[in-house]
Amino acid sequence: MFKGSIVALITPFNKNKLDEDSYISLIDFHLKNGTKGLVPAGTTGESPTLNHNEHERVIELCVKESKGKIPVIAGTGSNSTDEAISLTKYAEKIGANAALVVTPYYNKPTQEGLYQHFKAINDNCSIPIIIYNIPPRSVVDMSVDTMARLYELKNIVGVKDATGDLNRVDQQKKKMGPDFIQLSGEDATALEFNMRGGTGCISVSANVAPKLCSEFQEASISKNNSNLVAKAKSINEKLQPLHKALFIESSPSPVKYAASLLNLCSDDVRLPLVKITDKTKKEVKSAMTYANLID
């Protein structure tokens, strides 16, 4: 169920308020352009600055608007275990297909702390849980052994891996087996990730290049077909400047600017994030032109 190009949805704002109309249009844009899954209220959706009601509303709108056409993997992580449980239970109640739960940031829990955090969420819900392992932002790295312990629980089904270490794909596959879902958290290395056994990507670039990202993922997952591998490499080359440009400044500021160029939403972000500089705007425009997303 959870494979291919899955978009880490941005959350549109208008004058610092949730822009529901643009958000609904954005979801429709993905339904029409081949995206295989939606992640509302993840960190790309600026979850750290959404209040609790907004967080729930963003998930609710996504489930309602997608109408079961593609899976919704709700971002329900927190560095408070109780809050993560509450958000995950809410996502389950309104019909999300899974929850994406980030490793607790700032607290810096031990491996046992990580295990107990995810076990508590697992024990309080019945929805599939995907671990989001992103050491550069959370300052903790869940070990493969801890992940294997969690995979023994009823609801833990996979990982969004943003460690930047492609060897982890091999290690996790060896330890947990082929049924453990491995999704890349980095667009730039998604090709090699899939070649090693990954099954997709939770993508930032897919916000503005959904069709290309979907075609790329479908081709790269079919790694035993030489023609499709060649197609994946060709699309990957076209998208690499975009992957790079969208992280010149703090995400999601660059991708929100890119979305504004496609009239999908404004480039408004919430403090402490700010809009990107003119220099970065030029880089984003250049990358989008290279990928034939704009003229």
Quote the distance between the C-alpha of residue 247 and its chain's center: 14
Give the Cα separation of 295 and 288 in Å (integer): 8
**HEC profile of 223-283:** CCCHHHHHHHHHHHHHHHHHHHHCCCCCCCHHHHHHHHHCCCCCCCCCCCCCCCCHHHHHH
Across-strand partners of 130?
100, 158
Catalytic site includes residue 154? no
28: number of Cβ within 10 Å: 12
For residue 108, the number of C-alpha atoms closer than 13 Å in the C-beta half-sphere is 3
Report the C-alpha gap between 100 and 77 in whole angstroms. Answer: 7
Between the two ends of the chain, the Cα-to-Cα distance in Å is: 35
Whether 67 is catalytic is no
Q: What's the Rg (C-alpha) of the chain?
A: 18
SS3 72: strand
Q: Are 96 and 127 in contact (CB under 8 A)?
A: yes
Tell me which amino acid residue 146 is.
Answer: T
Catalytic position from the list 23, 115, 132, 151? 132
Spatial distance between the Cα atoms of 218 and 291, rounded to a whole number of angstroms: 18
DSSP 102-140: EPPPSS---HHHHHHHHHHHHHT--S-EEEEE-HHHHS-
Q: Out of 160, 256, 257, 281, which one is annotated catalytic? A: 160
The DSSP code for 275 is P
**Closest listed residue to residue 133, CA positions, set 161, 166, 98:** 161
Which residues are annotated as catalytic? Answer: 132, 160
